[in-house]
Amino acid sequence: MPNSTYISNESILQLWSDFRLGNERSYAELMRIFSNPMYRYGIRFIDNPDFVKDCIQDVFFELWNRRDKIRQAECVKSYLYKALRLRIFREKPKWKQAEPIENNYEFMIEFDVESNIISEEISQEIYHKLQSILGSLPKRQKEILYLRFYEGMSQEKIAEVMDLNRQSVYNLMHDSILSLRKYWAKSPVYYCL
Amino acid sequence: MLDNQYHKIEDFLMDNSFVEWASGNYTEDDDYWKNFPLHNPVCEDNFKQACTIIKSFRIKPVSDLSAAEIDDLVNNVQSRISGNIAADNVRPIRFRMNNLLRFAAILIIALAVGLGYVVFDTGKNKQAYNKVNLQTCRHIINNSQTPMLVKLPDNSSVILQPGAQVNYPISFAANKREVNLTGEAFFEVSKNPARPFYVYSNELTIRVVGTSFKVMANDRDEQYKVLVSTGRVEVSAHNNKDAAINNKPAVVLTPNQQVVLYRKELKLEKAVLSKPMLLSKESTTIHFNFSGTPFSKVVTTIEEAYGVHIIYDEKVMGNCQLTASLIDQPLDERLKLICKAVEAEYKITGGQIIIQGKGCGN
């Protein structure tokens, strides 16, 4: 999980509620809290820091303008991530009009080597296999893995962010875990009865 | 929670509750998972492996936004919201250039028509790029008869004397802050060692980190001057912008020093000021230590020190007095404190400072 000061969900929901009522300080605070998480997520779609920063600004600006119409969110993070995702897809300049945007993007994710090998949880060889599997996973699966394991989002929230139905998220997650699990497990798989 | 009896590794991994627990986050099912191997010894191996997998699933981090970048981001959004943007341009404040071509930091000097263009790099090395992008630059001219206060994207202040003009980007580059100046102005630069502040005026380049200083660089003058109030200022002279930035020896000025640039000869001559600058430490200790000082005198002190003009109603505020020590603050802090003491408010409209209050009781 990313290293950051812990802020309770209650505090965040409180800030969100205040911001909806027009509190600028709460709004600024929300921006400070979520800028980096949003950046870390957005940069995986397109490796262009300025572009991602612009999109984040746009999201927040829109948010302020529409604060009267926003409901009290259950989860601010997934709300913001979803908004950012939409914005990135809308603004990414290189996409041709003809192609459906949903299918034409990348999601960049890599395993962190050092800590894994050093702690001897997995060997070099297994690491390389994992890395190549991860690299060849379809982009949606990569994104789901990121949101699930790096951001700790539940499947419901992931479905909201990615605009998929829950069953799709479940299936995709299941597929990716199966692909990876084959190389992680050191002993053969067996069923417990 | 797992209902079925078939506990494959992926069953664990698909379970939200298990993943939360194995990642070290508190969950309501803590006890359940802690004791799971005890109650299900047959699945202990899979359970343990699932735990290992969760713990080792670390994704390579990308570089974060720095605190300064976050500040910029927040400031930009707030500026957009309050519509607090000087002059003409209603476009949103953007980091990226609308034109996605690569470019390097090139400074193009004010042309005869008085327009200036500034183009910056984004911190990485990119190819030279000659085209100018008006949408990313602010250009402020003081066409009035009185000094004009301008706030820069990093909260530094510039007070432009009549006729002076500045160009600066809508958002400063990540590693430096650059401003183009023609005419006379007083700068109060907010401190940021990671982002040095540059002022360019034709052959003159000024580099600071956090200081206050006056520049006299009128187009028709044969000599330009830089006078330092606080902090440390580096001044260099050159004919070609890039040469300036790369290793020309600079003259370093400390408070109450000035340098004269003889433009034709490109010569820099340093001198100590006979009278300390009004905003230097020595001077402010004397002049900004107010004790029962009439409001009008306080205002005059600020006006003279910064070269600004402050508008207020003498009839209303005339009976106010100030007892305060305003030795070491930037301009807006000083204004704030003064206003607080006399129960007034200040605002800056069109570069003018206006103080409004109800006056003071007895």
CATH number, residue A56:
1.10.1740
CA distance B117 to B165: 12
pLDDT band at residue B327 using 50, 70 and 90 as cut-offs: confident
Instruction: For residue B50, report the phi and psi dihedrals to the nearest 5 degrees.
Output: -60, -40
Do residues B121 and B105 touch, judged by C-beta distance below 8 A? Answer: yes
From the list A2, A32, A152, which residue is nearest B70 (CB)? A32
Q: Does residue B4 form part of some domain? A: no
User: Which chain A residues contact residue B57 at CB under 8 A?
Assistant: 111, 145, 149
pLDDT band at residue A83 using 50, 70 and 90 as cut-offs: very high
The count of domains in chain A is 2
pLDDT score of B80 more than 80: yes
Do residues A40 and B61 touch, judged by C-beta distance below 8 A? Answer: yes
By DSSP bridging, strand B137-141 and strand B165-169 are antiparallel
Q: Considering A34, A68, A94, which residue would you say is the last residue of a domain?
A: A94
CATH number, residue B77:
2.60.120.1440
Q: Span B194-206, mean pLDDT?
A: 87
Clarify whether residues B231 and B209 are in a common domain: yes
From the list A112, A185, A192, which residue is nearest B40 (CB)? A192
The count of domains in chain B is 3
Q: Does residue A3 form part of some domain? A: no
Clarify whether residues B267 and B286 are in a common domain: no
Q: Does residue B79 form part of some domain? A: yes
Q: B255 CA to chain A: closest CA distance, Å? A: 36
Clarify whether residues A129 and A85 are in a common domain: no
Chains A, B: CB contacts under 8 A, how many?
134
For residue B6, what pLDDT is reported? 57
Q: Span B258-264, mean pLDDT?
A: 87
Clarify whether residues A14 and A90 are in a common domain: yes
pLDDT score of B333 more than 50: yes
For residue B305, what pLDDT is reported? 82
Choose among B283, B175, B179: nearest CA to B228. B283
Clarify whether residues B92 and B190 are in a common domain: yes
Provide the 8-state DSSP code for A150.
Answer: I
Q: Do A178 and B96 touch (CB under 8 A)?
A: no
B316: buried, middle or exposed (CB in 10 Å: 19+, 13-18, 0-12)?
Answer: middle
What tokens does A15 get?
């800030």
CATH number, residue A145:
1.10.10.10
Nearest residue in chain A measured CA to CA from B24: A1
Do residues B170 and B136 touch, judged by C-beta distance below 8 A? Answer: yes
The overall average pLDDT reported for chain B is: 75
Clarify whether residues A90 and A159 are in a common domain: no
Clarify whether residues B158 and B90 are in a common domain: yes
CATH number, residue B327:
3.55.50.30
Clarify whether residues B19 and B111 are in a common domain: no
Clarify whether residues B226 and B289 are in a common domain: no
pLDDT band at residue B121 using 50, 70 and 90 as cut-offs: very low
- Least confidently predicted of A107-121, A166-180, B39-53, B146-160: A107-121
Q: Does residue B177 form part of some domain? A: yes
pLDDT score of B192 more than 70: yes
For residue B256, what pLDDT is reported? 81
Q: Span B307-312, mean pLDDT?
A: 84
pLDDT score of A155 more than 80: yes
What tokens does A32 get?
């400070």
User: Which structural domain, as residue segments, surrounds residue B336?
Assistant: 281-357
Clarify whether residues B182 and B80 are in a common domain: yes
Clarify whether residues B133 and B262 are in a common domain: yes
Q: Does residue A62 form part of some domain? A: yes
Clarify whether residues A90 and A128 are in a common domain: no
pLDDT score of A31 more than 90: yes
What tokens does B335 get?
């204004």
pLDDT band at residue B236 using 50, 70 and 90 as cut-offs: confident
- Least confidently predicted of A4-13, A18-27, B179-188: A4-13
pLDDT score of B337 more than 80: yes
Greatest mean pLDDT among A84-93, A113-122, B45-54, B274-283 lies in A84-93
Q: Does residue A190 form part of some domain? A: no
Contacts of A132 (CB under 8 A, 6+ apart): none
Clarify whether residues A89 and A134 are in a common domain: no
Clarify whether residues B252 and B306 are in a common domain: no
pLDDT score of A116 more than 80: no
A47-74 pLDDT, tens digit per residue, is: 888 889 999 999 999 999 888 888 877 7
- Least confidently predicted of A21-25, A128-132, B63-67, B313-317: A128-132
Q: Span B218-230, mean pLDDT?
A: 87
Provide the 8-state DSSP code for A93.
Answer: T
Do residues B261 and B268 touch, judged by C-beta distance below 8 A? Answer: yes
For residue B274, what pLDDT is reported? 72
From the list B6, B20, B58, which residue is nearest A112 (CB)? B58
Q: Considering B272, B296, B327, which residue would you say is the last residue of a domain?
A: B272
Q: Do B49 and A154 touch (CB under 8 A)?
A: no
For residue B145, what pLDDT is reported? 81
* pTM of the entire predicted model: 0.47
Q: Do B58 and A173 touch (CB under 8 A)?
A: no
Beta strands of chain B (E only): which ranges? 106-108, 117-119, 137-141, 148-151, 157-160, 165-169, 177-188, 197-201, 204-208, 212-217, 223-230, 233-237, 251-253, 257-262, 267-272, 289-294, 310-312, 321-325, 344-349, 352-357
Clarify whether residues A61 and A123 are in a common domain: no
Q: Span B131-151, mean pLDDT?
A: 72
Clarify whether residues B143 and B247 are in a common domain: yes
A138-147 pLDDT, tens digit per residue, is: 889 989 988 9
Q: Does residue B110 form part of some domain? A: yes
Q: Span B192-216, mean pLDDT?
A: 86
For residue B88, what pLDDT is reported? 31
pLDDT score of B298 more than 50: yes
For residue B195, what pLDDT is reported? 84
Q: Does residue B218 form part of some domain? A: yes
User: Which chain B residues contact residue A146 at CB under 8 A?
Assistant: 59
For residue A193, what pLDDT is reported? 37
Q: Does residue A189 form part of some domain? A: no
A54: buried, middle or exposed (CB in 10 Å: 19+, 13-18, 0-12)?
Answer: buried
| Angle between the N-to-C axes of helices A76-91 and A155-162, in degrees from 0 to 180, rounded to the nearest 10 | 30
Q: Do B61 and A110 touch (CB under 8 A)?
A: no
For residue A80, what pLDDT is reported? 95
Pairwise pLDDT comparison (B68 vs B52), residue with the higher score: B68
For residue A37, what pLDDT is reported? 92
The overall average pLDDT reported for chain A is: 79
Choose among A32, A35, A18: nearest CA to A70. A18
Nearest residue in chain B measured CA to CA from A25: B78
Q: Do B49 and A187 touch (CB under 8 A)?
A: yes
Q: Considering B240, B272, B304, which residue would you say is the last residue of a domain?
A: B272
Clarify whether residues B174 and B296 are in a common domain: no
Clarify whether residues A89 and A147 are in a common domain: no
CA distance B185 to B173: 22
Q: Does residue A44 form part of some domain? A: yes
User: Which chain A residues contact residue B52 at CB under 8 A?
Assistant: 121, 184
CA distance B65 to A150: 18
Greatest mean pLDDT among A129-133, A153-157, B83-87, B108-112 lies in A153-157
Q: Considering A46, A72, A94, which residue would you say is the last residue of a domain?
A: A94
User: Which chain B residues contact residue A36 at CB under 8 A?
Assistant: 64-65, 70
From the list A28, A43, A122, which residue is nearest B62 (CB)? A43
Q: Span B331-336, mean pLDDT?
A: 86
pLDDT score of B120 more than 50: no
User: Which structural domain, as residue segments, surrounds residue A176?
Assistant: 106-184
For residue B1, what pLDDT is reported? 55
Clarify whether residues A13 and A89 are in a common domain: yes
Pairwise pLDDT comparison (B52 vs B221), residue with the higher score: B221
Q: Does residue A4 form part of some domain? A: no
Contacts of B14 (CB under 8 A, 6+ apart): A170, A173, A174, A177
ipTM score: 0.79
A contact test, residue of B40, B46, B56 with most A CBs within 10 A: B56
pLDDT score of A174 more than 70: yes
Q: B202 CA to chain A: closest CA distance, Å? A: 30
Q: Do A193 and B25 touch (CB under 8 A)?
A: no
Clarify whether residues B79 and B211 are in a common domain: yes
For residue A135, what pLDDT is reported? 78
Q: Does residue A125 form part of some domain? A: yes
Q: Does residue A191 form part of some domain? A: no
Q: Does residue B1 form part of some domain? A: no
Q: Does residue B299 form part of some domain? A: yes
